[in-house]
Amino acid sequence: MASPFSGVLQLADLDDFIGPAQLKFAMKEQERLGFERECAQASLLLARRVKQLCSQNSKILPAFGMMLEKCSFCKKGECIKPVKVEKKPGKAAAKIRIEADGSYFQINQDGEAQKLEKAKITLNDCLACSGCITSAESVLITQQSHEELCKILTFNKTAAPNEQKLVVISVSPQSRASLAAKCKLGVLETAQKLTAFFKSLGVHYVFDTTFSRNFSLLESQREFVKRFRKQSEDKKALPMLASACPGWICYAEKTHGSFIIPYISTTKSPQQVMGSLIKGHFAEQQHLTPDRIYHVTVMPCYDKKLEASRPDFFNQEYQTRDVDCVITTGEVLKLLEQEGVSLSDVDPAALDTMFGSTAEEELTGHAGGGSGGYLEHIYKYAAKELFGIQVDTIQYKPLKNKDFQEVTLEKDGAVLLQFALAYGFRNIQNLVQKLKRGRSPYHYVEVMACPSGCLNGGGQIKLDGESSKEQLQQVERLYESLQTEVPEQNQAVQELYERWLGGAGSGKAAEALHTGTAGFKSKHKQLELVTASRPGLNLAHTLVQENPHP
């Protein structure tokens, strides 16, 4: 029987298949409502956390008795895992004995028995590095999938008008470039055809997250200048570390906690700024409450699903998320295949805009690379604002590898600004260690979890018959083919600052465009993972509900 789950959301070649019917839960019958959606999301996180737990506790390792299939990044020799697990030579694996009460004992070679503790795993334990997302996983994150979108669209067809949802899809420029490469189309043509395809399914509006990224860039610029000016009184004001990558944020929180969090920018990512725009300004335009809008984003990264699920981005008043569902680029392709549609054959449609009565017929981008251009925009703004120096072009200096580069602003031999970009966990770990030893010379670092940045995200489409390098170069060319814009010169952005937010720097702007990263550590569902002496994963989960709104 074919798997009902998305092929791009599956782990490859695990020895055990874990279906929902095999999971044992200690819970009341009424608590089973919504079980599949909640536990499936947690299940995806388990494989990632298991490997980290094993590396931290040698007594747990034999109990797991497993080796995860290498992910696509590992196979390319570009491991992005923040935790390295090495098999120690010369030791035979211990045996596991399961007692009648369900307790697990490790039996050493000398026959000595030692009771194993249960490894407790929460939804917040995931490091969100995308490394364990490969081609064949057995449990889907139902809440964050194209299937959930299809359910909403199906519901709308039969629901009463006052119960229907206004469905809005926001597409990232990285995903659009990946689809263009796959379908051998231009970027604008891809956007127009994708708009037509989504609307044929029942979607009402399709927007571009490039617009919301204007806000992220502007707020990051202002935040950096503010931090730079108060660095003498606040030792942790600098370096400012980018906050747009949820994989990096999760790693920072789980691994370095209170030490690293003060350095992280409070500016929301373009996805979450778009969430604020759609559930705030756009909802007002449509005369709807935020809960009447179902907002979906298309992203190049699986970690964006976790970002959207954070309680920070949940509206308690209306009981709705800023972003209800995140699907990856690969899942859009899966949706096309499911509908029997080739994007190349779709007739193009006019692009939507939430700002004004006329439709956009052109797309724009931002300079500075495929991860958003944070370094370049902040660098140029800071040079002008702090030192009165106009910077037109930026010269990058590669360091140990292509994913670690720096930029320096000098005047009369003195270093005024020193910025860097660090992509991939190998470079991130080096950066953090330098920071802990007080040896980091940087004022700002653009940090991204994936090697080569967002264009190479784990959710992007992998092209058949082409090397990963060739694929990435092709996507980069398409991504950079658009005319670039300067956020400060976008009239619609400036109007929204005044009309919707009450001006830059206002309390409403801070609420809509910033978040406190320390608040990311929230209470979600907790799972107890127990392992058995089987070659793969044989899991029994106990679900404990801590928060009615995960």
178: CATH: 3.40.50.1780
Is 87 a domain residue?
Answer: no
Q: Are residues 449 and 494 in the same domain?
A: yes
Q: 293-320 burial, b if ≥16 CB within 10 A, otherwise e?
A: bbbbbbbbbbbbbbbbbbbebbbeeeeb
- Of the pLDDT bands very low, low, confident and very high (cuts 50, 70, 90), residue 362 is confident
Q: Are residues 326 and 370 in the same domain?
A: no
Q: What is the mean pLDDT of residues 23-47?
A: 46
Range of the domain at 161: 134-211+271-345
CA distance 391 to 389: 6
pLDDT at 192 over 50: yes
Q: Which pLDDT belongs to residue 208?
A: 93
CB 183 within 8 A of CB 461: no
The verdict on pTM exceeding 0.75 is no
Is 544 a domain residue?
Answer: no
**Range scoring the smallest mean pLDDT among 183-187, 362-366, 529-533:** 529-533
What's the DSSP call for residue 327?
E
More confident residue, 61 or 346: 346
Is 108 a domain residue?
Answer: no
What's the DSSP call for residue 161?
T
More confident residue, 234 or 198: 198
User: 90-134, pLDDT tens digit by residue?
Assistant: 555 567 777 766 677 788 777 788 887 765 555 455 554 444 443
What's the DSSP call for residue 541?
E
Q: What are phi and psi of 159, to 5 degrees?
A: -75, 155
Q: What are phi and psi of 115, to 5 degrees?
A: -70, 135
Is 174 a domain residue?
Answer: yes
What is the DSSP pairing of strand 483-484 with strand 364-365? parallel
pLDDT at 521 over 50: no
The residue written with tokens 């860097």 in the block is 420
Q: What is the mean pLDDT of residues 180-205?
A: 93
Q: Are residues 464 and 511 in the same domain?
A: yes
Q: Which pLDDT belongs to residue 127?
A: 52
More confident residue, 467 or 369: 369
How remote is the C-alpha of 359 from its chain's centroid?
29
Q: Are residues 314 and 459 in the same domain?
A: no
- Residue where one domain finishes, among candidates 296, 318, 345: 345
CA distance 131 to 302: 10
Is 222 a domain residue?
Answer: yes
What separation in angstroms does the CA of 191 have from each of 235, 272, 309, 346, 364?
45, 21, 26, 11, 12
State which amino acid sits at residue 385.
E
Q: Are residues 333 and 392 in the same domain?
A: no
Q: Torsion angle, CA of 46/52/54/55, rounded to 10 degrees?
A: 170
Q: Are residues 317 and 250 in the same domain?
A: no
Q: Which pLDDT belongs to residue 374?
A: 93
What's the DSSP call for residue 398?
E
More confident residue, 69 or 453: 453
Q: Which pLDDT belongs to residue 125?
A: 52
More confident residue, 44 or 472: 472
- Of the pLDDT bands very low, low, confident and very high (cuts 50, 70, 90), residue 46 is low
Q: Are residues 314 and 370 in the same domain?
A: no
The pLDDT mean for the chain works out to 76
Q: 483-508 burial, b if ≥16 CB within 10 A, otherwise e?
A: eebebeebeebeebbeebbeebeeee
What separation in angstroms does the CA of 189 have from each of 180, 338, 366, 369, 390?
8, 22, 19, 22, 36
Number of domains in the chain: 2
Q: Which pLDDT belongs to residue 86?
A: 53
CA distance 375 to 420: 7
CB 116 within 8 A of CB 53: no
pLDDT at 457 over 70: yes
Q: Which pLDDT belongs to residue 408?
A: 93
User: 272-330, pLDDT tens digit by residue?
Assistant: 999 999 999 999 999 999 999 999 999 998 888 888 888 888 888 888 899 999 999 99
Nearest to 252 by CA among 426, 432, 440: 432
Q: Which pLDDT belongs to residue 233?
A: 87
Q: Are residues 176 and 305 in the same domain?
A: yes
CB 9 within 8 A of CB 44: yes
Is 98 a domain residue?
Answer: no
Q: What is the mean pLDDT of residues 338-361?
A: 79
386: CATH: 3.40.950.10
Q: What are phi and psi of 68, to 5 degrees?
A: -70, 145
pLDDT at 503 over 50: yes
SS3 (DSSP) at 356: coil
CA distance 350 to 138: 39
Q: Are residues 192 and 224 in the same domain?
A: no
State which amino acid sits at residue 366.
H
Q: Are residues 236 and 153 in the same domain?
A: no
Cis bond upstream, residue 239 (ω within 30): yes
What whole-number percentage of the chain has pLDDT above 70? 70
Q: Which pLDDT belongs to residue 443?
A: 94
Is 356 a domain residue?
Answer: no
Q: What is the mean pLDDT of residues 431-458?
A: 91
Which H/E stretch holds residue 433? helix 425-436
Residue 416 φ/ψ region, left for φ over 0, alpha for ψ in the -120 to 50 degree band, beta for the rest:
alpha
